[in-house]
Amino acid sequence: MYVADSRGATAARDALRPGPRRTAAIAPTVFALGAVSLITDISSEMITAVLPLYLVAGLGLSPLGFGLLDGVYNGFSAVVRLVGGHLADRRGRHKSVAVVGYGLSAVCKPLLLLVHTLPLIGAVLAVDRTGKGLRTAPRDAMISLASAPATHGRAFGVHRAMDTAGALLGPLVAFVILRQAAEGYDAVFTVSTCVAVMGVLVLLLFVPGRQATARGAATTGDRASLRAALALLKRRDLRRLAICALLLGLATVSDSFVYLVLQHRFDVPVQWFALLPLGTAAAFLTLTVPLGRLADRLGRWRVFLGGHVALLAAYGLLLTPWHFGALPYAVLALHGTFYAATDGVLMAAASATVPAALRSSGLALVQTGQAAARFACSLAFGAAWTAWGDHTALTATAIALMVCVGATAWLRPVEAAV
């Protein structure tokens, strides 16, 4: 057995015991997966940051119409996620599926050096997203299987914080390269490739493979068939959790709409617009670990609900008639708090309701349900904005969110998690 494994198991045993030792270390596997995500996010956000400039200034293309593919990508990636989740469970091959997922995205980076037309660049990005869709559920399953149930909130918090740190570093690396070499997009893509390869290597070398997950599967005796995966929805606790995630997702407008309304209502200067997501990411980065710990202590559903209350407060601030200077910052801070209190916490909550042998499928099911609901909400929000304007659309969403928070509080889906 791996050194890492035995240490993880000790940490898990310690964590199960109540008392001061409960806050024992995070399993090494979680740190390893966090490092993989951090490195991979540096690589992919480098590309994201320079892509518009590359398309317009480097290739002289009009990137309009590119966005039309976005909906297709989103739907596709949701399906891929379910497939990845199922494949990972089938023979306890979480790591193999994750390697394929990360590998697929790594292969896409050098391809960007070779393709110079919008449709081909779109195709490469679609493959990149397929990789992302494939790896997400097995990775989250590995995080939960490597840590003790009582520390799941924290484990996911640590992972998400590392992931976001990478996302914040990526654009910085890209601009340092472009500083050294004007129009050096090929250098950005090459460095991004090298970084992505390093992420896959860390995954191959430092994340334990089949043994760890097989052990989990053996204890529960569940078979990871497609039927068993679908039968998960018959489990009352998972069904309730999925329904709550879906309900709340239906009242969660996409980030870009939040930034657009923010810019609209408070006349944020245009040159700051691209920086708004950084505000959300910064709040997410600082709060995700503390809120994950809080979720372990207070109960995940409370923190998860609290996160949605933060989102409700953000909507409220966007709707308020008063203006004060700190208001946009407050909205972004609340928006980041919402993600910190829900993203990893939902996975921690779901982990508690899914048997180990079906962990990956179960997590994929919840994630896909939530993503689909959020996508539906964005479509509805866009239509409502068109018909009634942003103020009315946001008011309606806020009311819907209030109702959904009430319903979730009443259903109490994951109280028994801790």
Partner 1 sequence: MSTGQPMNHRNRLLVLAAAVAVLAVVATASVLHAAGRADRKDQAQAGGPPIAAGHVSLAASAERLMVFRNMAWGPHRDELSTVPAAAPDGPRTASGVKCLRFYAAAGTGICLQAVHGAVQDTYRAVVLDSRLHELRRFPLGGIPTRARVSPSGRMVSWTVFVSGDSYAGTAFSTRTSIVDTRTWQLASSLESYAITREGHAYRAADVNFWGVTFADDTRFYATLATGGKTYLVQGDAAAHTVRTLRENVECPSLSPDGTRLVFKKRVKGLSPDAPWRLYALDLHTMRETPLAEHRSVDDQVVWSDAHTVVYSLAGDYGSDLWTVPADGTGTARRIMTAALAPAYVGG
**Using CB under 8 A, which of 68, 221, 227, 326 touches partner 1?**
68
Cβ closest to partner 1, residue 153 vs residue 199: 199
Residues 154-173 that bind partner 1 (CB under 8 A): 167, 171-172
Q: Which stretch binds partner 1 (CB under 8 A): 220-228, 272-280, 294-302, 355-363?
A: 272-280
Task: Find the shortest distance in angstroms from Cβ 251 to partner 1.
Answer: 18
Q: Is 389 in the site for partner 1 (CB under 8 A)?
A: yes
110 binds partner 1 (CB under 8 A): no
Least distance from C-beta 54 to partner 1, angstroms? 10
Question: Among 266, 340, 275, which residue's Cα sits nearest to residue 310?
Answer: 340
The residue among 180 and 321 lying less far from partner 1, judged by its C-beta, is: 180
Find the binder of partner 1 among 69, 319, 380, 409 (CB under 8 A): 69
Nearest CA to 315 out of 406, 271, 242, 381 is that of: 381
Shortest separation between residue 280's beta carbon and partner 1, angstroms: 10
Q: Residue for token digits 């990526």?
A: 170
Q: Which is nearer to partner 1, 88 or 232 (CB)?
A: 88
Structure tokens at 195: 């970084």
Q: Specify the stretch interacting with partner 1 by CB under 8 A; choose among 16-24, 48-56, 238-246, 319-327.
A: 48-56
- Nearer to partner 1 by Cβ, of 198 and 309: the residue is 198
Interface residue with partner 1, options 122, 149, 290, 316 (CB under 8 A): 122
Q: Which amino acid would we find at residue 170?
A: G
Question: Which residues inside 289-328 make contact with partner 1, applying CB under 8 A?
Answer: none
Give the residue, chosen from 6, 219, 220, 386, that forms a contact with partner 1 under the rule CB under 8 A.
Answer: 386
Q: Which of 354, 385, 394, 398 binds partner 1 (CB under 8 A)?
A: 385
Do 290 and 352 contact (CB within 8 A), yes or no?
Answer: no
For partner 1, which is the closer residue by CB, 206 or 309? 206
When the beta carbons of 42 and 251 are compared against partner 1, the nearer one is 42
Total residues contacting partner 1 by CB under 8 A comes to: 82
The set of long-range contacts for 309-317, using a CB threshold of 8 Å and a minimum separation of 24, is 309/405, 310/334, 310/335, 310/337, 310/338, 310/341, 311/252, 311/335, 311/338, 311/401, 312/398, 312/401, 312/402, 312/405, 314/258, 314/338, 315/394, 315/397, 315/398, 315/401, 316/398
CB 35, min distance to partner 1, A: 11
* Tokens standing for residue 3: 């050194």
Angstrom distance (rounded) from CA 350 to CA 347: 5
Q: Angle 366-368-370 (CA atoms, 0-180°, nearest 5)?
A: 70
Question: Which of 128, 100, 133 shows the shortest CA–CA distance to 112?
Answer: 128
User: How many of the other CB atoms lie within 10 Å of CB of 197?
Assistant: 18
Report the amino acid identity of residue 200: V
Sign of the Cα torsion 239, 241, 242, 243 reads: positive
Q: Considering only residues 172-231, where is the footprint of partner 1 by CB under 8 A?
A: 172, 175-184, 186-187, 190-191, 194-195, 197-198, 201-202, 204-206, 208-210
Q: Which is nearer to partner 1, 53 or 411 (CB)?
A: 53
Backbone CA torsion sign across 404, 410, 416, 418: positive
Tell the smallest beta-carbon distance from residue 135 to partner 1 (Å): 14
- Determine, following the binding rule CB under 8 A, whether residue 132 of this chain makes contact with partner 1: no
Task: Determine which residue in the list 12, 26, 51, 283 makes contact with partner 1, applying CB under 8 A.
Answer: 51
Closest CA to 260 of 249, 248, 274: 274
Contact (Cβ atoms closer than 8 angstroms) between residue 293 and residue 154:
yes
- 289 residue type, one letter: V
Least gap, CB of 235 to partner 1 (angstroms): 30
Residue from the set 20, 114, 234, 271 that interacts with partner 1 by CB under 8 A = 271
Structure letter (DSSP) for residue 266: H
Nearer to partner 1, 97 or 352 (CB): 97
Is residue 292 a contact partner of residue 154, using CB atoms and an 8 Å limit? Answer: yes
- Inter-residue contact 229 to 89 (CB < 8 Å): yes
Which region, judged by CB under 8 A, interacts with partner 1, from 276-284, 296-304, 359-367, 409-417? 276-284
In the complex with partner 1, which residue's Cβ is closer, 15 or 200? 200
* Interacting residue with partner 1 among 18, 19, 20, 62 (CB under 8 A): 62
Q: Which of 16, 260, 298, 400 binds partner 1 (CB under 8 A)?
A: 260
For residue 119, state whether it binds partner 1 (rule: CB under 8 A): yes
Residue 153's closest CA among 340, 359, 372? 340
